Structure 1
Amino acid sequence: MHEWSRRRAAKRVKPGTGRELKPFRWWQPFSRSLYSLVLGHDDGRQVVYTVDVPHRRRFWSNDGKGIADLYLDGRHQAESKLPAAFPIPGGTIEVAESPFGLKRCHYVTAGGDEHPLIPDHASAEGRRAHLARKHPALSRVISVTSIILLVISVLLLIPQLIEVAFKLPPVAARFGTFVSPVSLPAWLNSLIAIGAGLASIERALRLRHNRFLDTVG
């Protein structure tokens, strides 16, 4: 997050209510993201910052942007529309969303070092991280497969979408027509789109995001 974006995001932060953090429920794996950061003080005391993002609130908002809540030791400290930049001692917690989840939930120190927050073990992000620790080879296969699916979707779907766009009268009148070198049946296009969506969700679980691949997927 660039400095000007961070300052702009910091202006959106509102004070918290002090309410207690609700535990993660088994039915919330894809409707809620919960990340934590443990920070130590010079006196040996430790505090826990927790970022809670209920994704359903994005669909209820007028502008389509989600909201992140920041908790300190289990008590509501602040809230902000996304992208968010929560100032805390020693740095900033930055949170940003993608169409498929979160693409950023990092603690950025005053010196510029970045550290991803730790997902709750019961969340979808936490289960994906557990898989990466216990079965690293399988995790790498899944990661590579996600990239392959997204690349395939770009190579096969984008030319067809361009052809559809060039059929619009204003576009055709100005630029002429375009015939896609790729023509697939509707059922195959649907399968590719579904695969690309699942791949982008998998990458969001690992806070991975490519501006071109994941946006197209």
Structure 2
Amino acid sequence: MFRQWRRRRAIERIGHGDGRILPAFRWWQLLGRSLFHLERVDAEGRRVSYAIDVRQWRTDENGYLKVFLYRNDRQYAVSRVPAVFPVEGGNIEVAASNFGLKRCHFVSADGTEEQLRPNDRSAEGRRARLDEHRPRLSRAMGVISALVLLVGVALLLQEIAVPVLRIPPIAERIGPVEPLFTMPLWVTIGIGVVTALASTERALRMRYRWWLDAAGN
């Protein structure tokens, strides 16, 4: 019921597009633009092409990331994330994290989900090609990203737990508490950079688990 309510609210936020033509993907947009495609068939049997265009720097007046829906290469609708766009046979659902999209799926009326196809020139498209042509390397990168984020989760839990355990009523019961990991500043900064890279790698594959990726966000 809550999911249906959220979906209904997202649909109510949809605004009309201005009809402009979908811009081609340029190489300099590699780190700041996500572009995904979907093809459907309308009630009259005609093919309809959809594109989801997200520019990471385009936000509304409240700071929410904007999502543009193109229909047959014309801007058809606009919304903020999380976005839900009704299309033939279901909805396109889009959600984002601090490092990119964590969801860009077509959800049919019966609940079947299908991830939209990333543009070949985009970072997501290049990552998908690596997964297709170098599956072992792709899996190794995925495992390393997950391990890095697990380390980030452990450090985050420590930052939360230690101050709580030092609250006088708690400290009186359990005694003095010291951090398990004490690292110099340069190591902490390095871990932060590597964690951000790991989160970006997972975002390119739209892999997201709140308990894991929260360390990068």
State whether TM-score is above 0.5.
yes
Question: Which deviates more from structure 2 when the two are superposed, residues 28-37 or residues 149-158?
Answer: 149-158
Query: Contact 1:51–1:68 (CA<8 Å) still a contact in 2?
Result: yes
SS across alignment from 1:57: strand
**Residue deviations 1:19-72 (CA, integer Å, cap 9, x gap):** 1111111001111100000113465421110000011014xx443310000000
Determine helix, strand or coil for the equivalent of 2:203: helix
1:111 matched residue in structure 2: 110
Is this contact kept in 2: 1:146–1:203, CA < 8 A?
yes
Provide the residue aligned with 1:16 in structure 2: 17
Which residues of structure 1 form unaligned runs of 5+? none
Aligned match of 1:3: 4
* Residue deviations 1:127-166 (CA, integer Å, cap 9, x gap): 0001011111110000111001001111234314543x45
Inter-partner Cα distance in structure 2 for 1:94 and 1:38: 15
Q: Secondary structure, in 3 states, of the residue corresponding to 1:212?
A: helix
Percent identical among aligned pairs is 42
1: CA distance, partners of 2:156 / 2:95: 27
Q: Cα deviation per residue 1:162-192 (whole Å; 9 max; x = unaligned)?
A: 43x459xxx8466557421211111111111
Give SS of 2:124's match: helix
For residues 169 and 151 of structure 2, what CA distance do their matches in structure 1 show?
Answer: 30
Q: Say if 1:89 and 1:41 are closer, same or farther in 2 by CA, change over 3 A.
A: closer
What is residue 27 of structure 1 aligned with on the other side? 28
Q: Does 26-35 or 181-190 show the bigger shift? A: 181-190
- Aligned-residue RMSD, C-alpha: 2.0
CA distance in 2, matches of 1:97, 1:109: 20
Q: Is the 8 A contact 2:16 2:78 kept in 1?
A: yes
Q: 1:151 to 1:116 in 2, by over 3 A?
A: same
TM-score, normalised relative to structure 1? 0.90
CA contact (8 A) 1:160 1:183 kept: no
Give the whole-Å Cα distance in 2 for the aligned partners of 1:136 and 1:174.
Answer: 53
How many matched pairs? 211
Distance change (3 Å), C-alpha of 1:46 and 1:188: same
Q: How does 1:41-60 map to 2 (within 5 A)?
A: 41=42, 44-58=45-59
User: 1:211 matched to which residue of 2?
Assistant: 210
Q: Is the 8 A contact 1:70 1:78 kept in 2?
A: yes
The alpha-carbon deviation at position 99 of structure 1 amounts to 1.0
- Is the CA contact 2:81–2:94 (under 8 Å) kept in the aligned structure 1? yes
State how far apart, in whole Å, the 2-side matches of 1:80 and 1:206 are: 23
List aligned pairs for 1:33-112, cutoff 5 A: 33-41=34-42, 44-58=45-59, 61-112=60-111
CA distance in 2, matches of 1:69, 1:2: 22
